[in-house]
């Protein structure tokens, strides 16, 4: 790893549900973008690379944009020029290393809620796994595919029960945990509280606008990082 890479800060922002933006020196990666995401400035999310862990559950009837490769998700207009990934495999785009790992949205190999792709992203020397809407623990083979991880973005309040989510974090051995509440706002607080309890966190950390991290600042011990929701979930 070069000295330049060691000094570069990766910034991670949460836009609600499983939508996350990772900004590096040379590229911006957007995970699970909404069909129409509007941030506080009124502009749509932009990025160089966009990943989709699973198809839209409730496509907007008047959504605009082109379809992704699987044909079941619309790429937002603001991301139409981005390099789109929605399947398993190993990729290198704009010096960003990305691996898509086939997983599922339930504990029955997708028979109930379908498939899911967990994406690992190496950005400015920081290794991130975006678990999408995963609904199960990982096998040894999947853990090998994911590899060493610094940051884990994990869904909270969905199919994955709080105790299972805590087990999954232990499997990954991540140093930074970013919970992504995927339930309604009214239920998010309770879901987070249960997850933090399972993780042994007695007091919830104050939410931050973004996570800023470089390889040299990755904590030695597990750290919970709560993010403020930057975008508005379309309905």
Tokens of 187: 């239920």
φ/ψ of 207, rounded to 5, equals -60, 145
The average confidence (pLDDT) of the chain is: 88
Q: CA-based angle 43:49:50, to the nearest 5?
A: 70
Q: Is the dihedral of CA 223, 172, 135, 125 positive or negative?
A: positive
- The pLDDT of residue 80: 82
What is the Cα 148 distance to its own chain's centre?
A: 16
pLDDT exceeds 90 at position 97: yes
Is the pTM higher than 0.95? The answer reads no
Nearest in space to 157 (alpha carbons), one of 48, 58, 18, 1:
18
What SS3 state is found at 228? coil
Instruction: Please state, in angstroms and rounded to a whole number, the distance separating the CA atoms of residues 218 and 126.
Output: 8
Nearest in space to 5 (alpha carbons), one of 96, 125, 97, 113:
125
Q: Which domains does the chain have, with CATH numbers?
A: 3-224 (3.60.15.10)
- The pLDDT of residue 170: 97
Q: What is the pLDDT of residues 2-53, one digit of tens each?
A: 444 556 899 999 999 999 999 999 899 999 988 654 444 445 789 999 999 9
**For residues 46-70, average pLDDT:** 70
Do the Cβ atoms of 39 and 28 come closer than 8 Å?
A: no
Q: CA-based angle 159:86:22, to the nearest 5?
A: 80
């Amino acid at each position: 790893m070069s000295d330049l890479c060691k000094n570069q800060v990766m910034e991670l922002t949460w836009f609600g549900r499983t939508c996350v933006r990772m900004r590096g020196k040379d590229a911006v990666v957007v995970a699970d973008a909404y069909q129409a995401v509007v941030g506080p400035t009124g502009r749509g999310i932009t990025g160089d690379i966009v990943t989709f862990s699973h198809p839209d559950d409730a496509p907007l009837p008047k959504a605009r944009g082109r379809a992704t490769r699987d044909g079941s998700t619309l790429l937002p207009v603001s991301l139409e020029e981005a390099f789109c990934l929605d399947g398993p495999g190993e990729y290198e785009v704009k010096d960003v290393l990305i691996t898509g790992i086939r997983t599922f949205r339930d504990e029955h190999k997708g028979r109930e809620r379908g498939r899911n792709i967990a994406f690992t992203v190496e950005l400015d020397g920081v290794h991130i796994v975006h678990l999408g809407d995963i609904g199960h623990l990982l096998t040894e083979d999947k853990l090998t595919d994911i590899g060493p991880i610094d940051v884990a973005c994990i869904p909270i309040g969905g199919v994955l029960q709080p105790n299972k989510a805590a087990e999954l974090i232990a499997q990954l051995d991540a140093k930074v945990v970013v919970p992504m509440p995927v339930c309604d706002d009214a239920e998010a607080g309770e879901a987070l509280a249960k997850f933090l309890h399972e993780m042994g966190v007695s007091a919830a950390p104050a939410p931050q606008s973004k996570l800023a991290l470089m390889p040299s600042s990755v904590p030695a011990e597990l750290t919970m990082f709560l993010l403020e929701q930057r975008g508005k979930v379309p309905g």
